[in-house]
Chains A and B, each alone.
Chain A
Amino acid sequence: MIRHTALFTGYELKKSFSNPIWPLFGILQPVLYLVMFAPLLKDMTPGRTTTEALLMFTPAAMMMIAVFGSLFSGFGLIADLRNGSLERYAVSPAWRPAIVLGRVAKDMVVLVCQAIMVLIVAIAMGVRIGAVELVLVLLLMAATGLFASGLSQGLALTVRDENGMSQSLNLFMLPIMLLAGLFVPISFAPEWMKAIAPVNPLYHAVEAGRALFAGQLGDSSIPIAFALFIVLAVLTTIWSMRSLSKIAG
């Protein structure tokens, strides 16, 4: 089981990094956000400094990569469904969940690399974060990414069509993004948005990320976000593993 999962993780990683330009592009986007978007937020922070804006925006940028980077990884599964390689693996002695778990694990590794890049840029721009908080932020990000990756693989195996997949992702993404307060914290939002924001799981991840960057380890948003995303990640991963039986169709 573990051997096969490791085998598939390695295989998928080699695939991703055989052309490192694509993961690099993935990293570039949040870095650009940090460099070009955070300064715009400067005037919304109490002290009107870029560092304060970064403290608010860096955790959001990290959650953004976690969700939106992983959410698209299911497309690879659709390609492999079409070229028949998934079917071939299903007939091999491979432990079947490893086929999906390997991909999810690959997403996690890519995610951590990207997160470290973002953190380096943020620290270079003046953000400071404690070691415990740093580890917790990375863990939270991993759980968020796990949820998104599992969701994406499950969706890919259910929809089985690139067109339908991109449409359904678009449908989800915009409200999730806006209602999470990624760009502008929900505290600036009107009352009705504040009321519905907690329904959005990403909102809790962003809030917890901000609390961690602010050094507020006791903030209640942190355990809420962890509990929520661990449960969600387990659920979507199980769903994606189960969806694998649909390969036969």
Chain B
Amino acid sequence: MIIEVHDLKKTFTTRSRKGTQTVEAVRGIDMEVRKGEIFGVLGPNGAGKTTTIRMLATLITPDAGTATVAGHDLLKEPAAVRRKLGYVSQAGGVEDTTSARAQIMMAAKIHAIADPQRATADVLTRFDLTEIADRPGRTLSGGQKRRVAIAIGLVHNPPLLFLDEPTTGLDPQNRANLWDRIAELRESGTSVLLSTHYLDEADALCDRLMIVDHGRVVAEGTPAELKREVSGDVITLRVDEPERAAETLRPLARETRIDDDLLRVYADDGEHTLPALLRALEERGVKLSSIALDRSTLDDVFLAKTGRSLRDTGADA
């Protein structure tokens, strides 16, 4: 295990004119990350992902709990943890006026690498940055900046890399490109802890993941395991009387869920359930205006575990 976390907690207190407010950002998280895997922390904004990563990166002191990161106790040996880490924050940490090369070189020198010049050149080549290496940070595009940020975090070849929402704000091409780069880290044996609020990102990149909501772990496993747990397929129906339809279909489904005028029916074998389902609805005279069959996604896992869709949580976060 490269990361072992037990019952980690953090509450923030903010004082303002309105009085003291406390926010329980992380309410007891347990997690285990294996050596060499890409482990994802998936959840909506405000779920506690960034707070968890910042605690494990020694930036914030946890209120309670224990953690071992890269072989060292987080609370007793924070300096040793820092030596083993590559940390790429949500903001990225690319400076505006300095060149990518100078920033990477500085990181290499801080880590007391034997040949900082060579390590810098290597990581620049690895991330296709050689051509833009001497341009100041502010002139780089969003995708280039992200690559520079990761290059800075990797120049000292850390056994463990933290990526806090690495593709937020990137266009689809740049995201796909970055996914490939992150997936390549598996070959070099670097373990990755990645946080994201994109389902497709977690699905595409992670060997294992945990879903967090309101500072708690609601599910954990490989993407396939998690999706199987919910059930293989989801049939989404638009009906005029969802309650009555749900009651009708319950015997055919593993689970039903009503979301306004939408009815979601979870079934192990969607294709074969569909004809029986349509027949049942007709017999009861429920009016059906549309129907769709999909393989379940991590969003369905999130929905099943929290009662909300990850797509809906953006609005209130």
Contact = CB atoms under 8 A, between A and B. Distances in A.
Interface stretch (B34-42, B89-97, B213-221): B89-97
Contact of B93 (A14, A88, A93, A94): A88
A7 B106 contact: yes
B5 interface: no
B110 interface: yes
Contact of A94 (B87, B90, B98, B110): B110
Nearest to B152: A88
Interface string B117-136: 00000000000000000000
Contacts of A85: 93-95, 103
B34 to A, nearest CB: 22
A80 B92 CA distance: 11
A248 B58 CA distance: 9
B59 A91 contact: yes
Contact of A91 (B85, B98, B106): B85
Contacts of B278: none
19 contacts: A4-B110, A15-B95, A83-B94, A84-B93, A87-B59, A87-B87, A88-B87, A88-B89, A88-B93, A88-B107, A88-B153, A89-B110, A90-B59, A91-B59, A91-B82, A92-B107, A93-B83, A93-B111, A94-B110
A19 interface: yes
B204 interface: no
A35 B240 CA distance: 85
Contacts of A80: 95
Given A92-B111, A93-B82, A93-B83, A248 B59 contact: yes
B111 A87 contact: no
B91 A7 contact: no
B170 interface: no
Contacts of A87: 59, 87, 89, 91, 93
Interface in A57-115: 79-80, 82-94
Given A83-B92, A83-B137, 8 more contacts: A7-B109, A80-B95, A83-B96, A84-B89, A87-B89, A87-B91, A92-B111, A93-B112
Contacts of B85: 91
Chain A interface, >50% SS class: helix
Contact of A92 (B82, B92, B96): B82
Contacts, number: 73
Contacts of A167: none
Contacts of B93: 83-88
Contacts of A93: 79, 82-83, 110-112
Interface string B126-152: 000000000001000000000000001
B2 interface: no
A247 interface: yes
A98 B255 CA distance: 58
B154 to A, nearest CB: 12
A15 B99 CA distance: 9
B98 A18 contact: yes
Given A88-B152, A92-B110, A248 B60 contact: yes
B57 interface: yes
Contact of A84 (B91, B106, B109, B110): B91
A91 B110 CA distance: 11
Q: Which 6 A-B pairs have the closest CB atoms?
A: A84-B91, A88-B93, A84-B93, A91-B87, A85-B93, A248-B59
Nearest to A81: B91
Nearest to B54: A248
Contacts of B90: 84
A204 to B, nearest CB: 36
Interface in B141-185: 152-153
Interface in A10-46: 11, 14-15, 18-19
A77 B111 CA distance: 22
A76 B206 CA distance: 37
Contacts of B102: 11, 14
Contacts of B107: 88, 92
Nearest to A87: B89
Nearest to A85: B93
Chain A CB count within 10 A is highest, among B58, B79, B95, for: B95
Interface in A212-233: none
B110 A247 contact: no
A94 B93 CA distance: 15
Given A7-B106, A84-B89, A91 B58 contact: yes
Contacts of A90: 59
Contacts of B97: 15, 18-19
Chain B CB count within 10 A is highest, among A11, A14, A84, A86, for: A84
Nearest to A99: B110
B111 A83 contact: no
Contacts of B106: 7, 11
B149 to A, nearest CB: 8
A7 B110 contact: yes
Contacts of A84: 89-94
A18 B82 CA distance: 30
